[in-house]
Copies of this chain bind each other. A is one copy, B any other.
Amino acid sequence: MLSVNEAIDALLGDSKRLVKHETIDLIDASGRTLAGNIIAPIDVPPADNSAMDGYAIRFADGSDPQSGITLSQRVTAGSVAGELEPATAARIFTGAEVPTGADTVVMQEHCEEAGGAVRILKLPEQGANIRRRGQDLSTGQKVLSKGQRLRSQDLGLAASLGISRVGVYRRLKVAVMSTGDELREPGDDLQPGQIYNSNRYMMKSQLAAWGFDIVDMGVARDDPEAVRQMMIQAASEADVVITSGGVSVGEEDHVKDVVASLGAIDLWRIAVKPGKPFAFGQVCGKPFIGLPGNPVSVFVTLLVIARPYLFACQGVSDTAVHAVRQIALFDKKGSQREDYLRVRATANGVELFPNQSSGVLFSTSWGDGLVRQSVGRDIQTGNLVDYLPYAVFN
């Protein structure tokens, strides 16, 4: 059996970026993946500016609190400052450009203004309260990296550099399909032997949250030709095809035969729980991922095993997630597989959902993350464990 890390590494080793780049408006780039480094085209700030509301002076002029300094100009944010005349001060406001000649800004609380002059009651150090040109960023510096997914602060940073258009990778198109004659859509009536299709909703929602474009194929009947037709269409429309169900060894599972006939399929034995079975291959030249049928297994394998691969296909450079340490409030025997326990964080540690069966989707909804239990390692109350809040998979 492959360990979880071996499975992830094998998938990543087989991955390549599947999407070309396109140039889009910065304001639309949230969550998108950068197709190239962003280099600062300007200094930030572009000129020395005042960090305070106050008075800009030559330091040497401010030593005597008794003598007022004549005010020669007034500089507001956005206005253009002239050179500071000798032995004068400029009224200045936060963010305004410091006039040439001035080397210090005195905050207004330490000044007294009267009759067109200002008295400096408390002189700061020379150079105080000035934000220097380029102190945030200097021209030519790399600020954002190819393969990075853009967050709100990254958009803000790019905007601060005057960048209005960015090169990103086109959104990865992921075809989602389920198989199973027993599956009904929510809203329909359930007949004996049928269950509602929860995987479609969960998978679509999660893949869309990751920024992928979804090609929703719906449900294929348990019939080789129906599965075959749907698979060909999915491969023609999407970059990657993902199914849930249909890849176990049971004779009613047609997916693996169809994928094998249209490309190749490997059934992987991964030491993960929940998670069996997992299949990887290709169909009509497109990567194929076959997730299990049980909803919790789908959820866990999608987050833990498929996610890094899909992000790699999207051109994301760092696909790892980082666990944090938490105190276990439960006992759990280790098993022969790496176990992803559904838990909930409290002020004292993480609680275990009582029923860890892979059919119990409520366990994922009840909690806020997973505890990763290593192969063969027992967990006892009070142990530090590896906790993965669902948010880290975003």
Contacts and interface: CB of A to CB of B under 8 A. Distances in A.
Interface of A: 26-27, 30-31, 42, 44-47, 49, 51, 53, 75-81, 93-97, 108, 131, 135-137, 143-144, 151-165, 180-188, 190-206, 208-209, 222, 248-252, 293, 295, 299, 322, 324-326, 345, 355, 357, 359-362, 364-365, 387, 389-392, 394
Given A77-B252, A182-B77, A187-B164, A159 B198 contact: yes
B193 A96 contact: yes
Given A47-B193, A155-B205, A394-B394, A248 B94 contact: yes
B78 A180 contact: yes
Most B CB contacts (10 A, CB to CB) among A161, A206, A365, A390 go to A365
Contacts of A42: 190
A263 B193 CA distance: 62
A152 B196 contact: no
Contact of A394 (B78, B108, B391): B391
A330 to B, nearest CB: 18
15 contacts: A42-B190, A45-B359, A76-B222, A77-B180, A77-B181, A93-B252, A94-B293, A135-B360, A136-B361, A136-B362, A151-B365, A156-B202, A157-B362, A159-B200, A162-B184
A80 B248 contact: no
A324 B326 contact: yes
B182 A252 contact: no
Contacts of A208: 30
A93 to B, nearest CB: 5
A144 B364 CA distance: 12
A209 B78 contact: no
Contacts of A152: 201-203, 205-206, 209, 299
Given A93-B252, A362-B143, A155 B201 contact: yes
A252 B76 contact: yes
Contacts of A191: 80
B160 A222 contact: no
The 5 lowest CB-CB distance pairs between A and B, nearest first, are A156-B202, A164-B187, A78-B182, A78-B181, A152-B206
Contacts of A355: 135-136
A160 B196 contact: yes
A131 B360 CA distance: 10
B156 A249 contact: no
